[in-house]
Structures are given as C-alpha cells and as structure tokens.
A and B are shown apart, each in its own frame.
Chain A
Amino acid sequence: MAYDKFTVLKSTAVPMPIENVDTDQIIPARFLKATERKGFGDNLFRDWRYNADESPKRDFVLNNPIYSGKILVGGRNFGSGSSREHAAWAIYDYGFRCVVSSFFADIFKNNSLNIGILPVQVSPEFLDKLFKAIEADPKTEIEVSLPDQTITLVATGESESFFINGYKKNNMMNGYDDIDYLQSLKNDIKSYASSSVY
C-alpha cells in the first residue's frame, strides 16, 4: 500500500516511558477481526486508553490534551510480541509517523518501515533526555531528519544520529515499497524456483 513520503518531520511528541510495550497493548486481539485496513486508530492502546465502560482513563497519556504530535516516544523493547501489522496500522492511523525508542522488536520495526512509519532507535541516554525535555515542556519540538539520519531537540540543538539502511531510506523518502521492487525480479525468482529442492 502506498504511503506518504517521509523526509523531515518537526513535531511535538507523546511520551510513553514504559518498557516492553507489546503489540497486544498497541492493539488487542479482539480488534483484529476486520478484513480491511480501516479505523484501527480508534482502538490504539485500547485497554490502556479506555475503561471497560468505554470512558477514557484519565491518567493515560493519549487522553491528556497537553500532549500531542506525530512522534511517539516509547520505552525500550517497543513493539514486542505478536507480528500483527495491525499494531503499526493503528499507530499510523492515529496520526503518528515516527516512533522513537532505545530498542525495537524486529518484526514491529519491519512492519513500520513497510507502511511508512519511521522507527528511530536512539541511545538510552538520549531517550532519557527526550523524556525529560517533554516532561519539562510538553510543547517541546523534536526534528527527525531522514536525509541526515538525525533526531534533534529543536530548543537546545542536542542531536543524535540514527541508523537506517540505504535501501529502506530511499524507499521511505520516495514512498516506494518492496512489492514494486520484487515484481522487477520475477525472472530471477522463477529461475530460482525451478532449481529449488522443494
């Protein structure tokens, strides 16, 4: 599915300093029954966000109007557990375009890149700095530059660079996806398949 191109994102951020945020929390299984990719944002963090009677939980960060923005800053080991791409869809659908953490689960990272969310892995120290800055001022702006591979606290200029491979970077900057690329390899794939053991 085509997604928005990603170059430079300057935004406030939503802080979620919790470790091991798993994809069952991001989108609980009972909301995976759709056959289309629509409306998952409403159920993002469903059980942390709402009480059983559907009323919002006051102390959850997404219900706190002082925090907003297109960047979600999470604790270490973000996105562990289930491979459900619905987790990435829910994050995207809610309006986030970038998730920052000191550590991501592999499948979540791949899923995010495949649908146009940029996972930015920073050092634990820088992550701490981000949480502190947002806590001190919820309107703190963060700039994520994909071309430069940097993340910067705009007010202080404190910055760190992050890794992304050249192929994925090019895809994200241009809104390309892997399926287009794989279609171009069809002949190679066919000839491999004809000599495969299985």
Chain B
Amino acid sequence: MSKTATTLFDKVWDRHVIRHIEDGPDVLFIDRHFIHEVTSPVAFLGLETRGLKVMFPEKTFATADHNTPTINQHLPVQDPLSANQLKALETNSAKYGISHWGLGNPKNGIVHVVGPENGITLPGMTIVCGDSHTSTHGAFGAIAFGIGTSEVEMVLSSQCIMQQKPKKMRISVNGKLGKGIVPKDVVLYIISRLTAAGATGYFVEYAGDVFENMSMEGRMTVCNMSIEMGARGGMVAPDETTFAYIKGREKAPKGADWDKALAYWKTLKTDEGASFDVEYTYDAAEIEPMITYGTNPGMGIGITKKIPQAQEAGSGKASYEKSLAYMGFHEKEAMLGKKVDYVFIGSCTNGRIEDFRAFASIIKGKKKADHVTAWIVPGSHIVEQQIREEGILDILMEAGFQLRQPGCSACLAMNDDKIPAGKYAVSTSNRNFEGRQGPGARTMLASPLVAAAAAITGVVTDPRELF
C-alpha cells in the first residue's frame, strides 16, 4: 500500500504532538520560543508565583523591540514605564539563563527580523512568540504562530502549548508579477480577496510560481501578514532559496549537522495529491500595487481603483461607514492623489534589506516632498549595517531622509513615533486599525515602493510612474 499523501503542515505538526487529548487540544512541543518586553513580564511573574523554572532556557530567545526608542538608543530610555519593561526582560532573561539581545546589542532588532537573520529560525520547526506576527517565520517551512501571555508561561515552564489543530488552506498564486509589484502587494491582494477574517481557523500554505520565485525576505512579508486574514499562520515549503539563505548564519547547523538537517528539510513539502480543507488560486497578472483605504487590512484595493461601496466590500454597512468616517474617506473616491502627511517604512513586514533597496530604487536622485515626515526604521542593526554598506544611506540622505535606529516604532506606536490625530500615513507595516499608529492616526498600508512614491510626491502615487 502506498503511503497517504500528506501536507507540509501535517508533517511538521504531527511530528511535534506529544499527546493528543480526546475531545481536546494537542500538546505540541515547541522548538523555538521568542520573547520580547511587552508580553513576557506577566508570564515570568506567573512562574515565580507557582515556583516553576524555565524548562529549556536554551530554546528561548529574548530581544527588546516593541517599546524601544528609535533615536538615541545609547541614552537611558526616557519613559519610565518602558524602561521598567526593558529592565524586566533583561533581569528575567539573566535570572533564567535566556539569551537576551537588549538595546545596544549588535544583534538587537525586531524579533521576527532577528530570528531568521541569525539562523535561529529553521525549516520544520515549531516556533511561537507572544506576538501575532510570529507567522513570519513560516517563510522557512516552519509552523510559527502568535500566542498569549498564559501560553508564554506554558512554553517557559514546559516547552509545550496546548492547541487545537487548525484546518488547512492552500493559496496558490500563479504567473508572473508585473513591474513594480512586490510581495507586499501580493499579500494585501490576497487579504482583500479573503477579508480580514477569511482564514480564521486555518493554517495557510502558500504555493505556486509567485512564491517559488520569491526571495526569503518576500516570503517573510507574505507569511507575516497571514494573521491579517485571521489565519494562525502561513508557510512556504523550503527550497534552494531557503537553504541558501540559512547557510552560514550564526546559529544555523554547520558541517555534518548541516548535511543531516538539509536531508531532512528536503522532505518538507506537500505530497502530490494531499488534500486541503479549502484552496484558493489567484492569477499574478491581476495584482496591482495595493493600498488600504479602511481600518482593517482586508480593506485594500489596487492603487488605481476607487474606494468600493459597502455592498461590494462585503461588510456590514454600519461598520463600513464607521471605518470610512474614521479615515475621512468616501465611497467611490479615487485613492490616487490623496494627501499624505507621514511615511513609515519599517516593521517586521517590510523592515528588511530588500525593502530598503526597493525604497531607494524609487527615491534615488529625487527629493522628499517638503510637507512629508518620513520615518525610516530598519528592522535590526544587521539591516541598518547593510543599508550603510550598500550605499542606500547616501541615497536616503541626498533625497532628504534620515535613518532611525531599529525597533517596532510606528508600527504600533508604543514609543514616541506616533502619527498625530487626523494625519494620513502611508505605512509599510501590517495594521491599519483605528489608532494603531497613534490615537486618531489614519493609516494606509502599502509596499515600500508605494511608500517611496508617496514620500517623493506627497500624495498617493502609483510607483510605476516613477521608474
């Protein structure tokens, strides 16, 4: 009898199940656990209250990112509450023997940027973090997803969590992307088709030419935003692109370990004929540069299109109107030409080197619009270093931009990088929720190319016109 065809997701999940509880969740072993300053302190308090230890401190990695300033990182952190959280992360990590990349550490940066770039994230792993964009690591063919603080405490104390196995969805995008269409557009397009809740209860596998031909940075951008359609996570089968990215990174396997790992990783793909609970297929030629007009990431359109009417958008009228009112937009208006006050390039979605290269490709030889404030924030010190080495910093400075220091920054506006109330921002981050980038801030999500075009012209602009 031939073996049953199995999906990549099942292969990785099933291998990590320590126990299946009848009429209940699976007990899932976790290979890698990332922690940051915001969602871990209460978990450590919980350990203390119960008198528990960290079971495998070498499987947890701490970095400070959510709450950190993006200027003057060498000075003491001004906000006492933030300083307190950063201190707690440092103290807890030291106490339990967890590796900690705090402010000032050359490896510091956004958790979902530093994990992959240091070779901590590997194919076939289960990876969790108290942060919903942990889905990013799925780009390596890992099962990676965000968890709550109670679950952080579970992983610290037992290296396991209890999870109901999600259903499986495959999203294929075939064909060739047009000029100026980048991974962020692909994922914003998918979310606009599926809606912000369209993949809730599912784990997604991305397949097809477009993802096969995509760089690791691009796959990370796509997997990152899986959560924005409600999915627990998304993954791409590892291939030569993946292996080439990992090889030689600090914590990646070396020598004989590498060969062994590689042999295993090559088995990590969905077998021909394996079945999914649901499948969607899209055509790359349909995808334009995308931009969002509302207050959830599903409210996106091609940049040359007009804002849809409530019934076309498929949501309840009252919620739809509330959303447009918040944005100060109206049905049937064009997005092109709308005024932009702020531009943010950064975050775990688009804070990698490829994103800054894309940004620079548009602004090179041009000047920033006077009225635009631009925050250019690398995802990590390693990315910052690359920006300098590749001459991108010079291009930025000549065009009138400044580079800030790494961190989550205006993605969630926990630090001082807040968009003022009522102002419009084109942002390469992942969430356009009300107040996400500061109370009253109005966010339009887009790719680094669209962000660059807006920074130069001061209005929403099709980047294809600026090449």
Interfacial residues, chain A to chain B (CB-CB below 8 A): 1, 17-20, 22, 24-25, 28-30, 32-37, 47, 52, 75-77, 80-86, 88, 103-107, 110-111, 114-115, 165-168, 177-179, 181-183, 185-186, 188-189, 192-193, 196-198
Judge if B261 is at the interface, Cβ distance under 8 Å: yes
Decide: A35 and B32 in contact? CB cutoff 8 A: no
With both chains docked as a complex, state the minimum distance between the C-beta of A8 and any C-beta of chain B, in angstroms: 21
Option from A19, A85, A181, A183 in Cβ contact (under 8 Å) with B315: A19
Decide: B158 and A179 in contact? CB cutoff 8 A: yes
Chain B contacts of A18 at CB under 8 A? Answer: 318-319, 322
Query: With A85-B149, A166-B23, A167-B21 in contact, do A33 and B42 touch (Cβ < 8 Å)?
Result: no
Query: With A18-B319, A178-B154, A181-B162 in contact, do A196 and B84 touch (Cβ < 8 Å)?
Result: no
Decide: B41 and A36 in contact? CB cutoff 8 A: yes
Kindly name the residue among B24, B150, B296 whose own CB sees the greatest number of chain A CB atoms within 10 A: B150
With both chains docked as a complex, state the minimum distance between the C-beta of A101 and any C-beta of chain B, in angstroms: 11
Nearest opposing residue in chain B for A108, CB measure: B148
Q: How far is the CA of A185 from the CA of B82 in the complex (A)?
A: 36
Nearest opposing residue in chain B for A184, CB measure: B158
Q: List 6 A-B contacts (CB under 8 A).
A: A18-B318, A22-B433, A24-B434, A165-B23, A185-B160, A198-B122
Chain B contacts of A22 at CB under 8 A? Answer: 296, 431, 433
Chain B contacts of A36 at CB under 8 A? Answer: 41-42, 45
Judge if B3 is at the interface, Cβ distance under 8 Å: no
Task: Render B145-180 as a binary contact track against A, CB cut-off 8 A, 1 for contact.
Answer: 011111101100111111110100000000000000
Chain A contacts of B122 at CB under 8 A? Answer: 198
Chain A contacts of B315 at CB under 8 A? Answer: 19-20
Task: Render B16-52 as a binary contact track against A, CB cut-off 8 A, 1 for contact.
Answer: 0011011111010101100000110110011001101
Judge if B463 is at the interface, Cβ distance under 8 Å: no
Query: With A182-B162, A192-B29 in contact, do A111 and B200 touch (Cβ < 8 Å)?
Result: no
Q: How far is the CA of A20 from the CA of B149 in the complex (A)?
A: 22
Decide: B124 and A167 in contact? CB cutoff 8 A: no
Q: How far is the CA of A82 from the CA of B150 in the complex (A)?
A: 15
Decide: B147 and A83 in contact? CB cutoff 8 A: yes
Decide: B413 and A29 in contact? CB cutoff 8 A: yes
**How many residues of chain B get a CB closer than 8 Å to chain A's CBs?**
81
Question: Other CB < 8 Å A-B pairs besides A20-B196, A20-B319, A77-B196, 7 of them?
Answer: A29-B66, A47-B434, A83-B132, A85-B130, A105-B230, A107-B147, A192-B29
Option from A75, A167, A177 in Cβ contact (under 8 Å) with B24: A167
Decide: B435 and A25 in contact? CB cutoff 8 A: yes
Option from A28, A33, A76, A167 in Cβ contact (under 8 Å) with B81: A33
Decide: B197 and A20 in contact? CB cutoff 8 A: yes
Option from B24, B45, B88, B130 in Cβ contact (under 8 Å) with A165: B24
Q: How far is the CA of A165 from the CA of B150 in the complex (A)?
A: 19
Decide: A32 and B414 in contact? CB cutoff 8 A: yes
| B contact face: mostly helix, strand, loop, or mixed | loop
Decide: A47 and B435 in contact? CB cutoff 8 A: yes
Chain B contacts of A181 at CB under 8 A? Answer: 162
Decide: A33 and B435 in contact? CB cutoff 8 A: no
Decide: A166 and B24 in contact? CB cutoff 8 A: yes
Decide: B316 and A47 in contact? CB cutoff 8 A: no
Judge if B56 is at the interface, Cβ distance under 8 Å: yes
Decide: A52 and B158 in contact? CB cutoff 8 A: no
Judge if B352 is at the interface, Cβ distance under 8 Å: no
With both chains docked as a complex, state the minimum distance between the C-beta of A159 and any C-beta of chain B, in angstroms: 23
Decide: A196 and B29 in contact? CB cutoff 8 A: yes
Chain B contacts of A103 at CB under 8 A? Answer: 197, 200
Nearest opposing residue in chain B for A50, CB measure: B439
Name B322-353 residues within 8 Å CB distance of A: 322
Nearest opposing residue in chain B for A28, CB measure: B435
With both chains docked as a complex, state the minimum distance between the C-beta of A102 and any C-beta of chain B, in angstroms: 10
Task: Render B347-380 as a binary contact track against A, CB cut-off 8 A, 1 for contact.
Answer: 0000000000000000000000000000000000
Decide: A88 and B160 in contact? CB cutoff 8 A: no
Q: How far is the CA of A55 from the CA of B12 in the complex (A)?
A: 51
Q: How far is the CA of A32 from the CA of B146 in the complex (A)?
A: 17
Decide: A114 and B150 in contact? CB cutoff 8 A: yes
Decide: A178 and B319 in contact? CB cutoff 8 A: no
Decide: A192 and B18 in contact? CB cutoff 8 A: yes
With both chains docked as a complex, state the minimum distance between the C-beta of B424 and any C-beta of chain A, in angstroms: 18
Option from A166, A179, A196 in Cβ contact (under 8 Å) with B31: A196
Q: How far is the CA of A35 from the CA of B122 in the complex (A)?
A: 31
Chain B contacts of A88 at CB under 8 A? Answer: 148
Q: How far is the CA of A177 from the CA of B232 in the complex (A)?
A: 22
Judge if B264 is at the interface, Cβ distance under 8 Å: yes
Judge if B85 is at the interface, Cβ distance under 8 Å: yes
Chain A contacts of B46 at CB under 8 A? Answer: 1, 179
Q: How far is the CA of A17 from the CA of B146 in the complex (A)?
A: 27
For the complex of A and B, the 8 pairs showing the least CB-CB separation, nearest first, are A167-B24, A166-B23, A85-B148, A111-B148, A33-B81, A83-B146, A35-B41, A182-B158
Chain B contacts of A24 at CB under 8 A? Answer: 412, 431, 433-436
Task: Render B121-136 as a binary contact track against A, CB cut-off 8 A, 1 for contact.
Answer: 0101100001110000
Q: How far is the CA of A110 from the CA of B162 in the complex (A)?
A: 10
Nearest opposing residue in chain B for A32, CB measure: B38
Q: How far is the CA of A140 from the CA of B130 in the complex (A)?
A: 38
